[in-house]
Amino acid sequence: MPIDHELLHSKLKEFFGFDSFKGEQEKIISHLISGKDAFVLMPTGGGKSLCYQLPALVMDGTAIVISPLIALMKNQVDAIRGFVSGNEGIAHFLNSSLSRAQIADVRADLLAGVTKLLYVAPESLTKEENIAMLKEINISFYAIDEAHCISEWGHDFRPEYRKIRSIIEDIHLAPIIALTATATPKVQSDIIKNLRINDATVFKSSFNRPNLYYEIRDKVDTEKDIIRFIRQNPDKSGIIYCLSRKKVEELAHLLSINGIKALPYHAGLDAKTRAENQDLFLMEEIDVIVATIAFGMGIDKPDVRFVIHYDIPKSLEGYYQETGRAGRDGREGQCITYYSYKDIQKLEKFMQGKPVAEQEIGKQLLGETVAYAESNQCRRKLLLNYFGEDYPEENCGCCDNCLHPKAHFDGREDMCLVIELINSLPERFKIEHLANILSGETNSIIKSYRHDTLELFGAGSSHTVHYWCAVIHQGLIRHLLDKDIETYGLISVTDEGQAFFKEPYELLLVEDRTFAEGDDDDEDFDVPVSGQGGGGGDPELLSMLKDLRKDISRKLGLQPWIIFGDPSLEDMSLLYPVTFDELRNCQGVGEGKAHKYGKPFIELIARYVEERDITRPDDFVVKTVANKSANKVFIIQSVDRRMNLEDIASARGLDMDTLLGELEVIVAAGTKLDLNYYIEDNIDEDVIDEIYDYFKEDALSDSVSDAMAALGGDYTETEIRLVRLKFLCEVAN
């Protein structure tokens, strides 16, 4: 029976319930059925899966679908079995999660010709027994899903993907369809070249997802901000991506204890737990999945309403694909990303030790992400430009930069200065190097090329390196400049740029954003950060709290800072805590301090709130989790057993300075430690007394540097830190 237009439409309705195809789906399917290779570039939510599922169901033989996502395999196999009821064998997957008995069932259905779709992990495809099995069956075509994994320039490179073509040739040739949601022109070229499908027809859909809202937020008070956001979007499904498994577990637990139905999902969980958590998300038993960026979700859920990146992704391709999981049904999709330069430094550290070429690729991809995050230009325009597509509008009306635009300025002179510099150099250089020359910054590379002697060195010194990077990035978006991916991002001037240089015209540019340093993920959620005041609170309440602190300090004969520091009072004036649990969410207030000094403060705040009929910011009140890291638990237990601090440090591979830092964090969080056994054995009694008396009677804060200055050079920093710990445990906590 010939497969024509009418048959495809009837099967589309029968199997999938759709009355019509979306975009170029029908063209792609007809092309594949005719026995030709295809390369499909279609954004998440565009309907890529149907492009190989429908032809597999109507063609003779079995389609082999190569996919790296075990979660997606199970999800899609379940969906296909649902479309074609009464035939469980019509779709199978073959990966490391199957038992021997399950593999035997898959083999039986394949050899019987029952299976129309077989999903295979690339690692499973390389096994000799699987290759031998596939040689025995009639293969209709090969579908390579997530094909960007082939390219070293892709955001999720998998070495196994580079072997796919040779394995296909070993089994036997059949048409190939490669599909991806994210691929720059360079990655597209890599995929086609590696799969040797040079004659493949390329089907490219627009990367624009008009229903998605993009926003970058400063990474400060991130957990509180996330909880507030989710509470403001009740009963909506969402995914939160984190850089590490540890943060996934911590954040999922934090959300749970704050009344949000959330579960973790990462490669460190056993297969059964992953599958259960995924199913609970799909069945809407939970609202939020917290997942690692590296592992990827692969969940086909059309009504994900928000995607939050707790950590910035390693590339714009990864960012685009992960945000693309929001709003696949064409309705609301909010994409919120938290950014700080600390995250970038962590990602750069992860690259160390890798081959130089891989490091160069990684740094360039990361640089693109930084430029996107810090830019004040339309985010949609930036993203589409990255994937080789122009966005015709200046303002998309659906990103933070377009909704809250910054002032523009005429940048023609600055762009001409950039072009003049590039034209004057005999060789080409990267963005940062050009920006350093213009701003007059010297470093070893600048000196090695003697670029600090150039006429244009420091010609733009009235602006920062950051500013000049922004100008160059905007030149790339406007096609005045070009970046060569093959040479790791060297910048050149286009013909359009040379024409602009000869006859400059008004060029409206915007300065990039600047961000705070961001949260320190190595600290507990509620541990104070030195010098970081809350601010922005109720000034009248703050004044009353300071008066109360002064009264209590006089009665107890203690310095006011010992009761509560200024950052703690500022937080109280902002959050209006009226219970001990709420008080513990204020900066610098641990369990012990809350119960020792907190009662009169929460009573004052409760009266103040009631008398002035103040609506408290309930969404700011976040329950916290005690830090249970292995190091901290070990240290607390070891101190309880009266172990020498040197032995504790040695057992955990720490130096003494680091151990003291850990002890200070533990005590700042409200835990009371008895260190007298060690202090009395290692510090003279008169030294202990003098340092202790300083903190009790003279100190205006718990600053170690202030103590060293006040006490003179007679005492070591270690002695002061140890006695300060004793004082905080006995008096402040």
pLDDT confidence band for 321 (50 / 70 / 90): confident
Decide if domain 539-620 falls under CATH 1.10.150.80. yes
pLDDT confidence band for 515 (50 / 70 / 90): low
* Integer CA distances (angstroms), 96 to 67, 99, 120, 228, 275, in order: 13, 8, 10, 39, 14
Q: DSSP readout, 402-449? A: HHSPPPPEE-HHHHHHHHHHHHH-SS---HHHHHHHHHT---HHHHHT
Tell me which of 201-210, 339-348, 475-484 is least confident: 339-348
How far apart (Å, rounded) are the C-alpha atoms in residues 25 and 6? 15
Residue 580 is inside which H or E element, if any?
helix 580-583
> From the CA atom positions of the chain, what is the Rg in Å?
30
pLDDT, tens only, 32-53: 999 999 999 987 767 888 999 9
H runs (alpha helix) in 99-176: 100-111, 122-125, 128-135, 164-171
Question: What's the pTM?
Answer: 0.58
**Structural contact between residues 297 and 239, judged by C-beta atoms closer than 8 angstroms:** yes
What is the predicted pLDDT for the residue at 174?
93
Asked whether the predicted pLDDT for residue 276 surpasses 60, the reply is yes
Average pLDDT for the chain? 83
Asked whether the predicted pLDDT for residue 464 surpasses 80, the reply is yes
The 8 Å CB, 24+ separation contacts for 718-724 are: 718/656, 718/660, 719/683, 719/687, 719/691, 720/691, 721/660, 721/664, 722/660, 722/675, 722/678, 722/679, 722/682, 722/683, 723/679, 723/683, 723/687, 723/688, 723/691, 723/692, 723/695, 724/691, 724/695
Asked whether the predicted pLDDT for residue 701 surpasses 90, the reply is no
Mean pLDDT of 9-24: 84
Of 559, 552, 551, the closest CA to residue 693 belongs to: 559
Determine how many CB atoms are found less than 10 A away from the CB of residue 680: 12
Decide if domain 630-732 falls under CATH 1.10.10.1390. yes
What is the predicted pLDDT for the residue at 624?
57
The length of the chain is 733
What is the predicted pLDDT for the residue at 732?
63
Please tell me the class of the 212-403 domain. alpha beta
Percent of the chain with pLDDT over 90: 28
Asked whether the predicted pLDDT for residue 183 surpasses 80, the reply is no
Domain residue extents for the chain:
5-204, 212-403, 409-509, 539-620, 630-732
Buried b (16+ CB within 10 A) or exposed e, 374-409: bbbbbbbbbbbbbbeeebeeeebebbbbbeeeeeee
Tell me which of 241-250, 448-457, 670-679 is least confident: 670-679
What is the predicted pLDDT for the residue at 476?
83
In single-letter form, the type of residue at position 550 comes to K
**Structural contact between residues 90 and 117, judged by C-beta atoms closer than 8 angstroms:** yes
Q: Which two tokens stand for residue 641?
A: 């057993």
Determine how many CB atoms are found less than 10 A away from the CB of residue 591: 19
Which residues are CB-contacts of 325 (< 8 A; sequence separation ≥ 6)?
Answer: 44, 239, 297, 299, 301, 304, 307
Asked whether the predicted pLDDT for residue 533 surpasses 50, the reply is no
Mean pLDDT of 634-653: 85
What is the predicted pLDDT for the residue at 190?
86
Asked whether the predicted pLDDT for residue 302 surpasses 50, the reply is yes
Residue 117 is inside which H or E element, if any?
strand 117-120
The CATH number of 5-204 is: 3.40.50.300
pLDDT confidence band for 526 (50 / 70 / 90): very low
Mean pLDDT of 331-353: 81
What is the predicted pLDDT for the residue at 443?
87
How far apart (Å, rounded) are the C-alpha atoms in residues 74 and 86? 18
What is the predicted pLDDT for the residue at 530?
28
Q: Please give the span between the terminal C-alpha atoms of the chain, in angstroms, as a whole number.
A: 82
Which residues are CB-contacts of 65 (< 8 A; sequence separation ≥ 6)?
Answer: 52, 56, 117, 118, 119, 120, 143, 145
pLDDT confidence band for 525 (50 / 70 / 90): very low
The CATH number of 409-509 is: 1.10.10.10
How far apart (Å, rounded) are the C-alpha atoms in residues 517 and 733? 30
Asked whether the predicted pLDDT for residue 522 surpasses 50, the reply is no
How far apart (Å, rounded) are the C-alpha atoms in residues 191 and 39? 9
**630-732 matches 409-509 in CATH topology:** yes
What is the predicted pLDDT for the residue at 564?
83
How far apart (Å, rounded) are the C-alpha atoms in residues 613 and 619? 18
